[in-house]
Amino acid sequence: MKKFAKRYARNHGAVFGLCIILVVTALAIAAPFMYDYSPWMMVDTPLIPPFTNSAYPFGTDMLGRDITAGLVWGARVSLIVGLLSTAIALAFGIVVGAAAGYCGGRIDDALMRFTEFFQTIPQLALAVVIVAVMSPSIYSIMGAITAVSWPPAARLVRSEFMTLKQREFVLAAIVIGQKPSRIVWSQILPNAMSPVIVSASFMVATAILTESALSFLGLGDRNMMSWGFMIGASRTMIREAWWMSVWPGVAILLTVLAINLIGEGLSDALNPQLRKRGE
């Protein structure tokens, strides 16, 4: 574990990314303590430009809502949606991929055709349809993101399983009489996890972007302030009040960038040989 941390720390970008995510997470957790009023509440005169009023450092929007409060509350939605939908998609993808990769044959064929069915539909279009049909709420948004993001995970796990299944230590486990479920759980899965962890971090970033896109299109949860909704709501005001769309945009950019940097760092730290070969 110490070695892992050391290898991770060697990638400065990844450390920077981790710091940003820690700040965003801290803000998301602290949101109810920092702003006891709802981010939807009108607190002052509309369209206060940023850095003019110390109470509202990032200004207010056209209805007089505090943009800073919106950003902090929006961090909650982004992180919850990003992490939870990735976790569900990953769990589903691992089960499907592991079953397909380990069993092979007809089960593999059937599961892969099912996966391809999801992959042939454009991701955002499918997500929009699912949310629109199920009526927008945080649950339907997470469901939609899960539905579009599990297929790559399943494919990755399947290919890892197919190679690991042939390895001698797995054959050895069959030979000593271990049951298939035990072989999958204790022999193959732990060895397949490092690429899965790396791709999971990129899935979180994609999930945050998808959530923003859905909110931008007006398919966000009506009760929760989100960065995508803030940009969507301010697009008509972009000439008069640039700050309304710029701050949430910067928040999305920094968070997604940070998660990508973390993914890169994890990939280097989990596969040290790959990195050395590249140099």
Partner 1 sequence: MDQKTPLLSVQNLTIPLPAGGDRPYAVENVSYDIFSGEILCIVGESGSGKSMSANAIMGLLPDYLKPTQGQIFLKGTNLLTQPEPWLQSIRGQEIGMIFQEPLSALNPLMTIGKQIGEVMQVHHKYPGEQRKKRVLELLNFVGLPDPDILHDLYPFRLSGGQRQRVMIAMALALEPALLIADEPTTALDMTTQAQILALIARIQKEKGMGVMFITHDFGVVAEIAHRVAVMEKGILVEQGPADQVLNRPQHPYTQRLIASVPNRRMDESLQVHEPAPVMEVRNLHKTYVVGGGLLSPKRVVHAVNDVSFTVRDGETLGIVGESGSGKSTIGKCLLKLIGVDSGQMLFQGQDIVPMPENRFRPMRHNIQMIFQDPYASLNPRHTIGKILTDGPIANGKPRAEAEARARELLELVGLDASSFQRYPNEFSGGQRQRIGIARALALDPKLLVADESVSALDVSVQAQVLELLRTLQQKLQIAMIFITHDLRVAAQICNSVVVMHQGKVVEYGRPSQIFESPQNPYTQQLIAAVPGKDWNPAQVETV
Question: Strand, helix or coil at 63?
Answer: coil
- Based on CB atoms, which residue is closest to partner 1, 164 or 219? 164
Cα–Cα dist 47/70, whole Å:
14
Residue in the structure block whose two tokens are 């072989």: 183
- DSSP assignments along 189-256, one per residue: HHHHHHHHHHHHHHHHHHHHHHHHHHHHTT-S-TTS--HHHHHHHHGGGTTT-HHHHHHHHHHHHHHH
CB of 182 to partner 1, least distance (A): 7
- Total residues contacting partner 1 by CB under 8 A comes to 17
- Tokens, residue 105: 């044959």
x/- binding map, residues 162-201, to partner 1, per CB under 8 A?
-----xxx-xxxxxxxxx--x---xx--xx----------
User: Scanning residues 238 to 267, which ones bind partner 1 (CB under 8 A)?
Assistant: none
> Mask: binding to partner 1, 123-162, rule CB under 8 A, as x and -?
----------------------------------------
Nearer to partner 1, 187 or 255 (CB): 187
3-class SS of residue 1:
coil
User: Which CB atom, from 177 or from 278, has the smaller least distance to partner 1?
Assistant: 177
Helix (H, G, I), strand (E, B) or coil at 65: strand
Q: Which residue, 27 or 173, has its beta carbon nearer to partner 1? A: 173
- Compute the least distance from the CB of residue 171 to partner 1, in Å: 6
Residue 13 C-beta: closest distance to partner 1, Å:
25
Rounded distance, CA 51 to CA 57, Å? 5
Quick check: 41 and 65 in contact, CB under 8 A? yes
With respect to partner 1, which residue has the nearer C-beta, 132 or 162? 162
DSSP state of 66: B
Distance (Å, whole) CA 233 – CA 123: 23
Q: Shortest CA distance to 141 belongs to which of 87, 79, 207?
A: 207
Tell the smallest beta-carbon distance from residue 138 to partner 1 (Å): 37
Q: Return the number of the residue (155 or 165) whose C-beta is nearest partner 1.
A: 165
Q: How far apart are CB 179 and partner 1 at their closest, in Å?
A: 7
| Closest separation in Å from C-beta 273 to partner 1 | 13
**Site residues (vs partner 1, CB under 8 A):** 167-169, 171-179, 182, 186-187, 190-191
